[in-house]
Amino acid sequence: MWTVAYALVATAGLWLLWLGAYVWDRADRMDRWLARAFQALVVLTLALTAVVVVLPLLAWSAVYLQTRHQVSRPDATVGAGLTVLVTYVAALVGTLWRRRQTVRTGLSKVMDVVRGRSGLSRAVPNGLLQYLTVWVVLIVLVAAFLLLLGWATATGWAWPLWMQICVPAVLLFIGAFLDQTWMSLHPFYRRRLASAFAVRREVLPGPGGTQVARPYDFATETTGLSEYGARKERFPQVIFAAAANLSGSDRTPPGRRAVSYSLSHDYVGGPDVGYACTACLEQRSKRHIARDLTVQSAVAISGAAFASAMGAQARAFQMLFALSNARLGSWLPNPGALSEQWNAPRWPSPPAPLIRRLPYLLREVFGRYPMDDRLVLVTDGGHYENLGLVELLRQGVRTAVCIDASGDIPPFAATLAQAIALAHEELGITITLHDPTDLVPGGSDPLQPPGVLSELNARLSRTSVVTGDIVYPESLDIDGHRSDKGTLIVARTTLTKDLPYELLSYAAAHPVFPHDSTSDQWFDHRQFDAYQTLGRCMGARVQELLDGMEASSEGREGSGTGG
């Protein structure tokens, strides 16, 4: 009885000490380094409490359960392994789950589950049953790991000497010397995208000068942002839109927990976390972190559809993804925190980290992303805004082209509507679309005969490209023209009746097209060709609009692309 009371009193005292250190630090009543030292002592006290109180309690519980239920050591090991396996399978199922519009056979149902659910906003199921399942899995996983830890603590003295030395040594090596991002799914995702899309043009020797595509050697060529991402003549500047996740900060409104973070050849960062010169970051970052300041990593990070932090997405799933290592994001330099150290280095300020050690993985598990840390967790830009439209308008363009492939549930484009609202909220920009209902599926004149093609007709839109007016809060001077007006062109991945016959045929046989999920990493040749053909058709329509605008504006040029 008294033990519990002492524990409660100690916990309350530690909480008051932590609160005092936090208040003193915020009010500048003591030097920053002293406040951090005081907080470090509190953390050390908590760690000692865990070692002295929690671990013995776990050990007693594990031994009690083992003796009460007569569980042998192999049974306990197999049970823990099965728990981890079931948890990982549950995480993958939660990621790949999706509902098809039309289910024709039992085999198609199984294939739908395997292929995943369409749309970033639905990369995580939202049903109550799925949420309850995830919480149950998390509780079982945590209980299994705690009991396993207690069992190892209670029985470790009886292990062979080599195991008592090797097991702690391996765990210490993993926590202290292995880069946690390197152990995640980010490197795999980066290689997959690079092997599919990153090629260079090469002219073969001989008459005719035949041109072929050659892949990069990513083991030796790092494709640094400052060099490979530079602006080229007659080609728009490429800006990779991502999201920096923050917690416990007044920088983000309630529920969002993510801010803009962009990567380009000149600057890296965002308006909330600050900007830093890309070349400077590459020079000051060590090998493991500099590897993620490349074009191939920027592409993978900006498309990291699921991660341990996903902005306003479900936090339970984020913890599950962190525990199961289903992480596609990466820890990148925080310009705001590092610039202070670079400009006025002081001995109490910690240097830039060499690698992302175990504490960064623990932050992902518990969802702690402080704004003043040296690194921030950067994930898919869709966790902030899924189209990149807000980041494009932040550049002050006169003509913006937005490609919407988000796969929203009909009838309306919810992702586009959210981007328009966010642009007004953060930038004061007003956007008015012309005839947005032309994008609604089912609004097109039906193909003949309508009875046979009724299912396909329900998915046809009147058009896939609409325009809109952009009104900036103040006048902009672009290419010598000063105005507060702009034009928005939105191209949405919808089906229209004037698409090529082979594309309509593919769409009729594949009800999910063109909204396949990012989790589908195994496109066959027909699937790839269908998306390539649809993209070319959408691009041709956008180019027709741009040509018409250029001709009617009598030399007034617009620039900017987004998607």
Structure tokens at 494: 């919808």
* Three-state secondary-structure class, residue 316: helix
Domain boundary assignment for the chain: 2-177, 217-383, 389-552
DSSP conformational letter for 332: E
370 contacts 416 by C-beta, under 8 angstroms: no
**What's phi and psi for 492, nearest 5 deg?**
-110, 140
Angle between helix axes 315-323 and 128-155 (nearest 10 degrees) is 40
**What's phi and psi for 144, nearest 5 deg?**
-65, -45
Question: Which secondary structure element, helix H or strand E, spans residue 205, and what is its range?
Answer: none
557 confidence band (pLDDT: 50, 70, 90): very low
The strand pair at 330-333 and 258-263 is best described as unpaired
500 contacts 532 by C-beta, under 8 angstroms: no
pLDDT higher than 50, residue 113:
no
Which pLDDT does position 205 carry in this prediction? 82
Q: Which amino acid is at 53?
A: V
Which pLDDT does position 382 carry in this prediction? 84
Given strand 375-380, what is the order of strands in its sheet? 274-277, 267-270, 258-263, 240-245, 375-380, 330-333
* Three-state secondary-structure class, residue 150: helix
Q: Cα dist. 516→387, 415, 465, 504 in Å?
A: 17, 16, 20, 16
> Structure pTM?
0.70
DSSP conformational letter for 493: -
The strand pair at 211-215 and 199-203 is best described as antiparallel
Which pLDDT does position 512 carry in this prediction? 87
| CA neighbours closer than 13 Å in the CB half-sphere of residue 300 | 28
523 confidence band (pLDDT: 50, 70, 90): confident
Which pLDDT does position 212 carry in this prediction? 85
What mean pLDDT do residues 386-407 have?
Answer: 89
Least confident of 40-49, 102-111, 242-251, 405-414: 102-111
pLDDT tens digits, one per residue of 421-432 = 999 999 999 999
pLDDT higher than 70, residue 434:
yes
> Residue length, the chain?
563
DSSP conformational letter for 50: I
Instruction: Compute the Cα dihedral for 370, 186, 176, 145 and give only its sign.
Output: positive
pLDDT tens digits, one per residue of 202-235 = 888 877 778 888 877 777 777 888 888 777 777 7
* Three-state secondary-structure class, residue 406: coil
181 contacts 356 by C-beta, under 8 angstroms: yes
